[in-house]
Structure 1
Amino acid sequence: MKQFREAVEARDEQAMRALLADDVVFTSPVAFKPYPGKAITSAILRGVLRVFEDFRYIREINDAGGHDSALVFEAVVGGKKITGCDFIHVNDDGKIDDLMVMVRPLSGAQAVAAAMGAQFDQIAAEAAAESEGVSQ
């Protein structure tokens, strides 16, 4: 999805959040249980911006119908070079309702798990604050 790619490459947190559906589901490359909701997904994406170094997309694959995209990326996390893919589905309103990330190799996935794990208290606090702000 071109708009998401541009927002991530620009490190534009507001633009990334604006592309998410309220009912988006984020599936992590290192956590078993998916994370439902815009607040937690946008907080996770901000965490990713903090821990992924030298991030760049290297390929974009889109379906003819415009609902599914795969964005292949490279980055460095904890000194490990990783290759990954953001699998994106957009709803009929053009908002991302499913975002699944996969990474390789295993040592890179372990580095992602450690780096994001260290961020998770902050991610959870940001998501809670965003949820409270939205519900008021």
Structure 2
Amino acid sequence: MHPFRQAVEARDAAAIEALLADDVVFTSPVAYRPYPGKAMTAAILRGVMRVFEDFRYTREIAGADGRDHVLMFQATVNGRQVHGCDVLHVGDDGLIDDLTVMVRPLSGANALAEAMGAQFERIRREAADAVPPSPPAS
């Protein structure tokens, strides 16, 4: 079982974040642009944990080289059934450097987009608070 799956199933946000590379890229099923960076990805995943109900992984598929993984899941969002997958790529350092999420059906994707939209201001604040301030220019 992939450590990301274990952390998600345990709802352990700190363990999830520890598995992410600093330069991880998160590709959302409902947003056009990918989101770069560990702080933003971790904040998005915390938001997802707040909106998914009855979340469970149903299948895990690993690439032959152990660097690519697909974790199939089911959940409910605002009463809508969602089926999806987390597609992970692990870099040379063993950390997740790419995470793409896909969901279906359209009614579930729409419910997810609405629920995450309601979370997004909090997600932005959490991500901004996690990034250390830049040192003053000398």
**Range class of TM-score, shorter chain:** over 0.9
Superposition pairs of residues 24-39 of structure 1, within 5 angstroms: 24-39=24-39
- Letter aligned with residue 8 of structure 1: V
Partner of 2:92: 92
SS in 2 for 1:125: helix
Q: Which residue of 2 aligns with 1:110?
A: 110
Structure with the larger helix share: 1
Q: How many percent identity over aligned positions?
A: 67
After TM superposition, the score normalised by the length of structure 1 is: 0.97
Name 2:8's counterpart in structure 1: 8
Structure 1 residue matching 2:131: 3-state secondary structure: helix
> Radius of gyration: which is bigger?
2
TM-score w.r.t. the length of structure 2 is 0.95
Matched residue SS, 1:64: coil
**3-state SS of 1:66 partner:** coil
- For structure 1, the 5+ residue unaligned runs are none
What whole-Å deviation, never above 9, does each CA across 1:85-128 have from its counterpart, x for those lacking one? 00000001110000000000000000000000000000000000
CA RMSD of aligned residues (A): 1.1
Aligned mates of 2:22, 2:14 — CA distance in 1: 14
Task: Give structure 1 regions of 4+ aligned residues with deviation exceeding 3 angstroms.
Answer: none
| Cα shift readout 1:43-92 (whole Å, capped 9, x = no counterpart) | 00000000000000000000110100000000000110110000000001
1:50 counterpart residue number: 50
- Structure 2, unmatched stretches of 5+, are none
Q: CA deviation at 1:37?
A: 0.1
Structure 1 Cα separation of the partners of residues 107 and 79 of structure 2: 10
- Aligned pair count reads 135
Partners of 1:44 and 1:37 lie apart in 2 by 11
One-letter code of the match for 1:131?
V
Alpha-carbon distance, 1:130 to partner: 0.2
